[in-house]
Each structure stands twice: as C-alpha cells, then as structure tokens.
Structure 1
Amino acid sequence: MTFHYGRFGDAAGAALRKNAVALNKAFAEGLQPPPRLTLSEWAPQWRWFPDDAPIPGRWRNETAPELVEIMDAMSIHDPCEAVSLMKCAQSGGSAVAENFLGYISDLAPNATLVVHPTFQAATAWNAEKLWPMIEATPRLSPDRGGTIRARGLADGSGSTTEKILFARSGGYILLAGANSSAGLRQRTVRFAIEDDLDDFPDDLEKQGSPEGMVDARLRVWASRGLAKRLKISTPRIKGASKIGRAYREGDPRRFYLQCPHCRSRFVPEWADLQWPDGEPELAHLVTPCCETPTEHWQKQEMKLPDGWLSLKIDGADVPRVLTEEAFQGWRARMRPSRKIGFHLPGIISTFLSWSEMASAFLAAQGDVNALKTWTNLIKGEEFELRNDAPDYEALMALREQDWGRGQMPIGPVVTTLGVDVQGDGLYLELVGWGPNKESWQLDARFLPGATDVAGQGAWADLDAYSKRGVTFPGGKTFPIDQECVDAGYHTEAAQAYCAKRARRLAVFGRAGWGLPVLGRGVAVRYEAQGHRAGAASRSADDKAHIVGVNGVKLSWYGYLRATLAAVNAAVSEGGDIKVPVGRVHLSRDTPEDWFEMAVAETITVKMVKGFPDRRWTVMPGRENHYLDCRVYNIAATEKLMLDTLGEADWSAHRAERYAAKDARQGDLLSGVGAAQVAAAAAPQPEPKKASPQSGYIERKDNYL
C-alpha cells in the first residue's frame, strides 16, 4: 500500500516524507554489516601518530612490512583466535596492539581486556601510548566524533583511567594488572591483550596464573569462535619463558628476508652478522644464500609483507634458505591456524640497526647478566641459563699472597660495603673496585651480636667499623663510598642504621629474572612480633631499594669463572694474566667459610602450576651469607654508577686517593676538573705476573 502524505497537508506531509526517508536510511545503515577490512588495511587508512612521535603522521605498512601479516591474523574475520608475538624491544609489537584496539572500536566494538604486569604499568601505557593515539586519530578522537567516548564528562558517563568506553554498542577497554586478581575476575570479554607477558607472575594469590584467569574471561566468546587474543613480550629464560611457550604452542613462524643479490629467501641469524675487529659500527650481514656482504641500509628492501613461513608445514621442517620459487611453494602449502606464533628478532627489526646490535653485544661481553639482557631485549631470544656453580675449592687458588685482610693493595679506587643481616649478627664484605668491574676483597667477617634493636649489639659494632673509613696507599683516608645493607630482616633496625649517614642504603633482595640490579624504593614487609619476628609481613611502611638478585648472581658467577680461566691459562702457559671483565682478587686472609658461601647457590627447576620455574636455591648443607654480601656490593656499584666513569675519571680519582697524606682530600663523586686530571700524576700498578712454581702470586715491587 502507498502511504498518502498529502492528507496531512502540504507542509506536514513533506516533513513526514523527509523523516521517513531519514528513518529508512538509518535503519538500513544499522542493518548493514561493517566493511570487511583487515587490520593491515584499516591501519593505513585511519591510524595516525601525534606530531611529537618519532615517525609522525599516518601509519604506513611500508615502514615495517613484518607487521602486516601479524595484523592480518588479528583481523575479525581471520580464523586465528590467538596470536603470540615473541619480539625484541622497540619492534612495533605494542603498535600492533594499539591498532587492534582502534580497529575493534570502529568495526567490532565489544568488551576488551588489556592486561599489563601491574595496574600502574597499564595506566602509564594508557596515558603515554593509547590516549595519544586516540587523540591523534580522527576516526577515534572524541573531539572529532570518533569511536571513543571522551574523558571527564560531567555526568560520569565518560571514559576513566581504568575503563575506556566506546561511543556505541556498549563496548569498552578495561585495564588490569596481572599482579591483582580483582581486575581479572567476574567479567566476560571478547578480546584480550596481554602485554609484557614474561613479567606476569606464575601464581597469582594462590589462584592460578593470570593467563588462566584471562582464559576464563574469554571462554564464552571463544566457545563460539568469536574471541581474539594477543600475547606480546620480550622473552626471558629459556624453558620458563611464557611468551616462548605460547610461541611454540600453535603454529610458530619465522620471517624470511629476500636477498638483494640472488633474490633467494632466508631467515637471518646472529652468526650472519660480521664486522672488523673493534669496529662494530661497520657491522654487515653476509647472506647465507650467496655469501654476499649486505649493508644495513639494504635491510628495508629485503623485507616483504609475505615473509612469514611456519617452522613446519605438513610435518616437514622448512629450510632456512630457499629460492624464491621454493619459498612461494611452501607459502602456498601453509594452512590457516587457530593459534599462530610470530618471532620478531632484533636482526629484522625496522627500528634497530645491525651496528647497534653489534655494539651492544660487545659491551655485554664479560658480564653474564648484561649478556642475558642483550639476548632478551636486543637479540629478541630466550636466554639459556648455566646451572653449574664454580667449584669453591678452585676459588682458593685466587688468593694473592702479597696482601692480607685489612690492607689496601695497589689497584682499588672505589670502596663499597655489603651487609647481610642475621638474627645473631651481621656478615659484611668490604670490596674495592677499579675500571672494567675489577674487584678486590678488602675484608670479610662476621660481627656477632643482637640485630633486633636499632643502634645496639652488632649494629653498634658495624657503625664503628664503617666510621673508620678506608686508608689508601699514601696514607689518605676516605669514607666508604657506598654501603648496601639488607633490610629484609629486622627492617627497623636496618633502616635506623642507614639513616645515620648519607652513604648508606637499605636494600631488599628480590628474585625475578627481569628485575634491574638496583630498583626503586619499595615497601619492605616484616613481622614485628611472634615466632616470625623480623620476617616478611604486609604491614611495614619502611622503604628499601630492591636488588634483582637473580641477574646479579649470574654476573658474579661469570666473573669468577672468567677469573679462574684467566689465572689457569697464565699458570699453564707461563705468561701474563689477561685481565677479563670483572676480575676478582682475593687476599691471603680470605676466611675459609667465604669460599663455600660465595658460590653456595645453584639454579634449579621447580614445577609451579605445571610450568617450570628456574630459581636460585641454596645447596644442601651450605650457607649463602657472603654471597648475599657480594650481591649487595655489586648493587652498591650500581648506586655509584661506576659504569658511567671513563678512563679520565678513574685516573683523576686514583690520583686524588693515592696522593700523599698532606694533599687536599676530596670526594670520589665531587667531579674532578680537567685541569686537575691533567696535573695529577696517577700512580699505576706494576704489571701482574703469574708464578708457575707456586700458583697464582702477584708481585708488586716498591709497594710503599
């Protein structure tokens, strides 16, 4: 039937007709499905970077072609349900996550969960990455009628710090921390992003892993094949890496470069990079297909969007080097997968040069913890731990006979003190330091006495010991440059001791493969009463700086191994000792129990909720107090930032401290001027020799 608008009059009929047309159009638009765009098609069309970004303006797939297929797998209509991206740092993984959030807010708005290791990390990402993207992208910006609802609306209906609302369909982005179960419960979501996955705890509040909680939130949508999940992280320890496990669970893929010379395809490996000795800035890649040197500026043209291939196809291993024809043949045989893993190492990253990789690699040599960091963040691969501790009896060969405990040999320039707190006393180790992380053990002893009352017992003895300072060759006495004192036991007493002098720092050792050597101040938990007095609790207001003990112990064991190897080589070959990074010197009076304690821990594997957890554990029948002292000493060098001192700085400080007693005294970090550096005649230690007749003996003639 035809509706007669004219019976309502000319004016009213025309208005009704106009309204009906508008209603019909709106109804049709509501029924129309969203455009069938892939994420890699949506991003260059709509995503913008703010003007202050490193690469401002519109998103361009050409900048990082290796990200195209990763984004395509996250597209709504792609059968893939879970993408795991194992990557190096600063490789574009987070940008993929940001694109995905903008994409779903536009084309498929629904409940979305974004999980970071902590809620603080999530809110920082929200402020520093997500909202700048939203405000720079007209398609998303609430100020330009975009798909995201504005913040701070007067009626309370806008986006908040924790929850970013979509402008239509009731969808939202919920931020959560993997360290709190409250944000991971009681919500059903369709989409989930887990960023920095390897920093997630293995067991959250004894309720299982955060990954398992995210599984539960996605279950309803996943049962209908409509869920999407993105896991992103740099890897940590091989065998315990969460992103490494997720990468291998489904369909793991590698990225093939195209050789600019013979047009073959190949997976680049670290061994393919070469450079002249001492010139990492000239690093180049020798292609494994035709063995032709290739410069870094050619890397961009070697990356094509179709570069990804599975490790296995139809049960067969895919070769690392392929002709273009063979490569396309393997690509044609790849099948869609519900779970896909992508590995994005530094060697193919758009934002990391080969010379940067080589320079960082050389800088990490000699320090196992630094090498681990390089492997994880720059190389983008899992680090394989060595779980063998150095033989403590072999360490006794490192005792040098020409100086004893309490003496200052030629060499140290900086001094630190590490203190481990026990109920019946304090273990301490006084260490001198020189360039290249070389160390001299100046003293190691146990101060008996009560430690539960501030300023009394062993604390009074430690305070007197500390106030003596250290006398350098030439007679000048300086205070200990930095002390690090264990505050994880009898916290109040340790805090009171550290509050007396500016060079003292309360520290708290904490396990964790991703923690820094010395981190920010955090609340230290302890019990004030009961059978656990002095042990961890949740009620302390005191602050202590965390020490990432896992990595420091890796470095310490590496220094010991390198020193033993250098000394043994000098003794067997009869030549000079080649000084390694972190060379360790021990005096003839090093306490016998120091050797067992200094290497009392080993890396063991413990299954936690069905997953392997690699951790440091004390060997049966051993104590680890002097190991803890050395860990705190290494943390003290981090506080002093000794790694930032150059040759001129060390020479100037050495001249100042080794000068005659009547010379003007100063402070290590007071900043010696260039004129003083030039005028100072810095005494240098005599060449160090090894005597094959009687083991390892350093001879320093004219010591005084």
Structure 2
Amino acid sequence: MSQWADEERYVAKGTSSEPGKWKTSRVEYMREIMDISTSGTISELILMGGSQWGKTEFILNLMAFFISEDPSPILFINPKKESAEEFSEERFTPMIKATPCLSKKIEPNKSRDSRNTITNKSFKNDAHVAFVGSNVPNDVASRSRRIIVGDEIDRWAVSAGKDGDVATLARQRIKNWWNSFIAWVSTPVDFETSIIFRHWLGSDQRHRYYTCPDCGHAHHLEWENVKWEGDDKHSSPETAYYQCPECPSKWNDVTRWKLDKTGEWKKHNPDSKIAGFHISQLYSPWVKLSTMVFEYLDSRGKPLMEKAFQNTVLGLPFEDKKGAGVEVEMLLNRREEIPKFTMPERSGLITMGVDVQGDRLEVKMVAWGLNDESWILDKYKIFGDPTGSAVWKDLEEVIKKRRYKHPLRETPFRIEATAIDSGHETQRVYKFAARMQIQGHNVYAIKGVPGSGRPIWLQSKKQIKLTKLFLVGVDDAKATIYGRLATENGQGQIHFSTRLEKDYFEELIAEKIILETDKNGFEVKRWYLPSGVRNEAFDLMVYAMAAKESRDIDIESRLRNMTKPKEKIDFGKLGKSLNG
C-alpha cells in the first residue's frame, strides 16, 4: 500500500497542514502498518494510538487502496452516524476529488440517484463504501462487506440491542468472504472498559524501536525518558529533550524525527496471528517535546486533563487510581491545625460555596494556593427559612464582614467570590446575587449541569432579568475533587482542619461513579448518591471550586508581592529593657 500511496495518493487542501502528494517517508513508522494491511497475510489489524500521528490518513490510504487496486465493498463504522457522515464529507470526499486515479472512478452524482450520497459512495469498478454509526445497529447488520474499518471503537455504542455488541455484529458481516479484512483503530479511553486495549493485548503487540546514535541501544520510546529543566514549581518545557535510558545521549526533536528513518517495529507477543501496533505522539513529526511537556505539566492534579494526556499524547488507556480507595479514616488522619479565621501562608484567595436547603443555608470557605492546593477554612450551617429574609441577611453579613488573617499581609483577606446553587428557592437566589453584585461583591447564582466534558464555569445563555446565571459542569468538577482527595502532598492537595468532624468526611465521599448504558447504547459514567445519604460537603466543594474559576487571579504573583507585616514596637517594653 505504501508504494501505491506514494505514486497515486494526494492529500486534499484544507484537510491537512501538508497538502499535496502523499509521502510515506514523512511518517516512516506508518510504512509497515500500511503494507501489512494489504499484504494478504493477516485478516485483522489492531491500531492503538494517540492523536496527531496520522491515523486518519492511514484510514484514507487503506480505503483508497482497496477502491483503486482491489475493488471491494467497504464498511466504515464511526461511533455515531453524524460523525460518520462528517468523515465522509470532510475527509473522504475531498481525498477522492484530490486523487486523480480515484476521482475518475467514482460514479457521477445524478439527481434521484441513491448510488452516491453522503453515506454511500459507489465507483465504476464496483467498489463501494458505506459510512455508518455504531449507534444505528440496523445499518451495521444489514450490510455484507469484505473490508471493515472500525474507527474510534472505544467510543462506540456498547450495545446493538438484541443483536449484542456492535463489534460482534460487524464481524458477522464478513463471514462470507474468504479474504476479508478488519482494521480496528482507536485512541484508548478507560483502562477498565477499553475495547481497543483489550484487542491490542490479544495481538502481537508491536512497538516502534529507535537505536541510540551514541551507544547503539535499541528501545521503544517511553514518557519516563522525556526530561526538562526545572522543578515542580518552576519548570521550563522549552528545554525538553529525550534521554537515552542507557547512556547520557540527549535527543532533541530533530534527532528524534531523524531516528524514525531507521526505526523498526518489534513484536512483544510474537505467537499471536493478529497484527497490533501501538503508537504515541512521541513518534509524531508534527508534535514537539516542549508541547507535550507543557500539556503534561498543565494536566497534573487535574484528573480529566491527566486522562486526556494519557489517551491522546501517550496513546494509552487511563486508569484513575487517585480517587480509588479514599476512605473516611484516611481523611480524618490527615487533619491538621488551621487556626480559626486565619489563612495558611501558601494561600492567596478565599472563595465560598453555598447550598440552599429547606431549613438552612450550608456554607463552606476554601483558601486556594499555587497549583490548586486548597485548605478548608470553615464549613457550617446558617439556620433559617430560605423563603424569608433573615437567613439571607446572615449570609450577607458573612460575605461583607468575615475576614481571615494572613501571615504575609497586614490587611486581612475577605471572601472574594461566592457561588450559590439556585436549584432550591431559585428566585431568592437570583435576587440575593443581584443585590450583592450591585454592592460590589462577586456573588453568583449557579446551576449544576451533569455530563462529562462540560466546563466548570460557563455563563448560561438563558435570559434572567435580575442577574446572570452560571453553569457548573459538576461531573468533571467532582472527578477532579475525588482525584485530589487521594493526593497527600503537593499539587492539588486538599488540607482539612481538625475542627471538621467525621460526618463531614462521610458527606465528602458519599457519591460514587457507576457505569450505565444510555438509551442509544453508549456506556456512560454517572455519579450515584445512595438514598438517604447526605453529600453537602461534596457539593459545597464543587461550588467553591466554581467560584475560584470565576476569578482570573494570579495567585503566584499575589503571593510574591506580599511581605510579612511589620512588627509593632512596644516602646514601653523597649524602655524597660534598656533601663534594665
């Protein structure tokens, strides 16, 4: 396939940063992957990798080769029907038009002719491509195909209804072809549920080996060998280099890219008859080490970003161990002395979360430091009827008058941002937030929205007369907090005061993540709260975190500019000491 692609394939303008004639030499690591796919020696290929290494171009080359050189019925399966149609329109069709040997083979698009639509492409040599989504099992089940390309299978619907899982259903479509071929291609997602990772473990597990130009040691590239200058607080991603694990040789980006010319794929499970390849951005000629290091540093302590780094940069499934095994006793034992109405020296911002209950307001004050380190300063209840005014006056007093002493500043800190959940007594919350904002206080009405991938802080498009409403992506916020609960040192650590009792920690870890299948057959994670169990401490931490996101404050700069308060001189004591 690589020879055919070099001779015939063109990359369409607007679909790539490098349009024009295809050159396999630009991505030498792809040569073996392409050639074995069309060699006739294998019937199944597993390709597990991150992003930005050329996955889409491989798929296009594979489909183009079979259309041109070995006309076959091809089935392309994407997670959703909509994304399959998007692939057809934005990647496949431009490739056909840009590649002469393919454009002259496609059937003309005639009115009332169903042979060429977005989801069905027919060619004059009897080749045919159908684009379907895993969420429409009938489209998968109704087609007999020789070639199947399963794209992003870790994001497929997990069920095809009564027909079972989609991957099994797809395999049934090729049973009548003695020379069938399936390519499973995906970025892995979660360790526990990853389909591509499970397939890859059953393959011959090929890794790309580079040979060190200085010592001759051959190894596959791993993140642990990426180094840079600096420490946890002050790192310099621009100094990044790859360190040979056997000698002092340091490889910059140019050296790393040149070494791919002589790279070699080696099997780690040679007894398997299934070809499987793993590739990460460490091999990509389009991604610099400095960019990867920056993303790595930015992701630390943020479980969702850590997951994205593991998946898209390293091409590996993510196993979140940080939130696992968090127990009440463990958190109780981590309590420390935090004097009342004081801030730790490393903190530089205070936010507050407020939850409205039927007979009270629950509030939590949190101090924030560098790298999302935090301290729980206060958590208590303001009793009163939220439909009346008294409880809101009490909250107003807290916002206006509560002050916290800081060892590096003479002027005490006030609460700089407050987020109030508007799910209960909505209009009261709106009115209170509006009134406080008029008086110059950063008090916001918020609404929690479930679902992965939602930002922690986003202004709602909903028009509200009194104030602005802000949406809080609670699922991702909770995942971040859970990860930080297991952090006992450094970035993201949450500190707890000895004033916090056992019931606080029970509320903090009351919710758990469970896996469910949605109505479309996709596997989704959901936060589950057992009936009768309280979780206010958890919710309040989410709200306080959201309030922090509302403030664009450089805590590092603020701390750097603070100095210890000048000690007041007691002239009476001074005189006595001088006079003996």
TM-score in terms of structure 2 length: 0.75
In structure 2, the residue matched to 1:138 is 100
Query: Does residue 147 in structure 1 map to residue 147 in structure 2?
Result: no
Matched, 1:42 2:10: no
Counterparts of 1:464 and 1:132, CA distance in 2: 63
Report the equivalent of 1:72.
35
- What amino acid is aligned across from residue 370 of structure 1 in structure 2? M
Measure how far apart 1:554 and its partner are.
4.6
Listed one character per residue, the Cα deviations across residues 48-89 of structure 1 (whole Å, up to 9, x for unaligned) are 2234431121111111111111112321x5232221111122
Counterpart CA distance in 1 for 2:187 and 2:389 is 46
For residue 243 of structure 1, what is the amino acid of its counterpart?
I
Q: For residue 359 of structure 1, what is the aligned residue in structure 2?
A: 294
> What is the alpha-carbon distance in structure 1 between the residues aligned to residue 395 and residue 141 of structure 2?
51
Distance 1:83 1:554 in 2: 34
Aligned match of 1:287: 244
Structure 1 residues 646 and 636, CA, compared in 2 at 3 Å: closer, same or farther?
closer
* Cα distance change of structure 1 residues 468 and 187 upon mapping to structure 2, 3 Å threshold: farther
Structure 2 CA distance for aligned equivalents of residues 463 and 101 of structure 1:
65
Aligned to 2:349: 413
Q: Measured at CA, do residues 552 and 79 of structure 1 come closer, stay the same or move farther in structure 2, by a change above 3 Å?
A: farther
For 2:473, give the aligned amino acid: V
Write the letter of the residue equivalent to 2:82. Q
1:268 CA drift (Å): 2.3
Which residue, 312, 315, 321 being the options, matches 1:377? 312
Secondary structure in structure 2 of the residue aligned to 1:303 = helix
Partner of 2:142: 186
Tell me, yes or no, if the aligned pair for 2:153 and 2:195 is still in contact at 8 Å: yes
Q: Which moved more, 1:412-421 or 1:83-92?
A: 412-421
Alignment of 1:112 with 2:74, yes or no, is yes
In structure 2, the CA distance between the partners of 1:274 and 1:459, relative to structure 1 (3 Å rule), is farther
Report the counterpart of residue 266 of structure 2 in structure 1: 309
Q: Which amino acid aligns with 2:80?
A: T
SS at match of 1:417: strand
Amino acid at match of 2:301: G
Q: 1:237: how far off?
A: 2.6
Q: Deviations over 1:489-528 (max 9, x none)?
A: x9xx879977997943433334x6xx45559999xxxxxx
Contact 1:469 1:477 in 2 (8 A): no
Equivalent of residue 196 in structure 1, options 132, 149, 152: 152
Taking the aligned partners of 1:112 and 1:428, their CA distance within structure 2 comes to 59
Measure, in 1, the Cα distance between the counterparts of 2:244 and 2:414: 58
Partner residue in 2 for 1:81: 43
Distance 1:43-1:477 versus aligned 2 partners, 3 A rule: same
Mapped partners of 2:154, 2:390: distance in 1: 43
The answer (yes or no) to whether the contact 2:227–2:243 under 8 Å persists in 1 is: yes
- Provide, for residues 667-699 of structure 1, a one-character-per-residue CA deviation record: whole Å limited to 9, x for no partner: xxxxxxxxxxxxxx9656889xxxxxxxxxxxx
After superposition, the C-alpha distances for 1:3-49 in whole angstroms (9 at most, x for unaligned) are xxxxxxxxxxxxxxxxxxxxxxxxxxxxxxxxxxxx21222222222
In structure 2, the CA distance between the partners of 1:521 and 1:184, relative to structure 1 (3 Å rule), is farther
Q: Using the TM superposition, give the Cα deviation of residue 592 of structure 1 relative to its aligned residue in structure 2, in angstroms.
A: 4.5
**1:158–1:460 Cα change, 3 Å:** farther
CA gap 1:206/1:44 in 2 versus in 1, 3 angstroms: same
| Secondary structure of the corresponding residue to residue 325 of structure 2 | coil
TM-score under structure 1 length normalisation: 0.63
Residue deviations 1:236-263 (CA, integer Å, cap 9, x gap): 2324321111111222211111332355
Following the alignment from structure 2 to structure 1, what is the Cα–Cα distance between the partners of residues 121 and 276? 30
**C-alpha contact (below 8 Å) 2:354/2:361 kept by paired residues:** no
Structure 2 residue 519 is the aligned partner of structure 1 residue 582:
no
Could you tell me how far 1:264 is from its partner in structure 2?
4.9
- Which one of 508, 515, 530 corresponds to residue 449 of structure 2? 508
Distance 2:94 2:500 in 1: 58
Deviation at 1:364, TM superposition (A): 2.7
| Distance verdict in 2 for CA 1:268–1:412, change over 3 Å | closer
Summarize the Cα distance change of 1:82–1:506 in structure 2 as closer, same or farther, 3 Å threshold: farther
Structure 1 partner of 2:406: none
Q: For 1:196 and 1:101, locate their aligned partners in 2 and report how far apart those are by CA, in whole Å.
A: 16
The 1:120–1:345 alpha-carbon spacing in structure 2 relative to 1, beyond 3 Å, is same
Alignment check: 8 A CA contact 1:494 1:506 kept: no
Distance change >3 Å, CA 198–CA 71, structure 1 → 2: same
How far apart are residue 311 of structure 1 and its match? 0.6
Change (3 A) 1:138 1:369: same
Report deviation, 1:469: 8.1
Residue type of the alignment partner of 1:392: V
> In the alignment, which of 216, 233, 243 is matched to residue 196 of structure 2?
243
State the secondary structure of the residue aligned to 1:140.
Answer: helix
Give the structure 2 partner of residue 402 of structure 1.
Answer: 339
In structure 2, relative to structure 1, the CA distance for the partners of 1:501 and 1:355 (3 Å cut) is: same
Q: d(CA) in 2 for partners of 1:111 and 1:592?
A: 63
Aligned match of 1:317: none
- Alignment-derived partner of residue 53 in structure 2: 91
1:620-659 matched pairs, under 5 angstroms? 623-631=534-542, 633-634=544-545, 637=548, 640=550, 646=554, 651=558
The Cα shift of 1:547 comes to: 3.5
CA contact (8 A) 1:149 1:164 kept: no
Alignment partner, residue 324 of structure 2: 388
Amino acid at match of 2:372: K
Corresponding residue to 2:212 among 259, 274, 277 = 259
CA contact (8 A) 1:72 1:78 kept: no
2:65 corresponds, among 62, 83, 103, to 103
SS in 2 for 1:165: strand
What are the equivalent positions in structure 2 for 1:460-499 lying under 5 Å apart? Answer: 470-471=399-400, 473=403, 480=417, 482-483=419-420
Deviation for aligned residue 1:309? 1.6
1:305 is displaced (CA, Å) by: 7.0
State the 1:548 CA deviation: 6.8
Give the 3-state SS of the residue equivalent to 2:100 in structure 1.
coil
For the residues of structure 1 that align with 2:108 and 2:350, how far apart are their CA atoms? 56
Counterpart of 2:132?
A: 176
Q: Which residue identity does 1:202 align to in structure 2?
A: V
Q: Which has the larger radius of gyration?
A: 1
Q: Deviations over 1:308-351 (max 9, x none)?
A: 1211335xxxxxxxxxxxxxxxxxxxxxx752211002222222
Indicate the residue corresponding to 2:21 in structure 1: 58
Distance 1:275 1:446 in 2: 48
Contact kept in structure 1, 2:13 and 2:20, CA below 8 Å: yes
Aligned partners of 2:554 and 2:565: how far apart in 1? Answer: 21
- Tell me the equivalent position of 2:123: 167
1:88-112, Cα deviation, whole Å (9 max, x unpaired): 2211112111222222232334433
The runs of 5 or more residues in structure 1 that have no matched partner are 1-38, 315-336, 450-455, 523-542, 567-579, 655-680, 688-704
What is the alpha-carbon distance in structure 1 between the residues aligned to residue 363 and residue 200 of structure 2?
45
Determine helix, strand or coil for the equivalent of 1:415. strand
1:583-625 Cα shifts (integer Å, max 9, x gaps): 43445654652211212356789999xxx99987669996544
- How far apart are 1:297 and its partner, in Å? 1.0
Q: CA RMSD in A?
A: 4.5
SS in 2 for 1:229: strand
Distance 1:263 1:591, change over 3 A: closer
The one-letter code matched in structure 2 to 1:90 is: Q
Structure 2 CA distance for partners of 1:519 and 1:346, relative to 1, 3 Å: farther
User: Residue 596 in 1 paired to residue 506 in 2?
Assistant: yes
SS in 2 for 1:282: strand
Aligned counterpart, 2:576? none
CA contact (8 A) 1:79 1:338 kept: no
- 8 Å Cα contact 2:392-2:432 kept in structure 1: no
Look up the SS of the partner of 1:222 in the other structure: coil
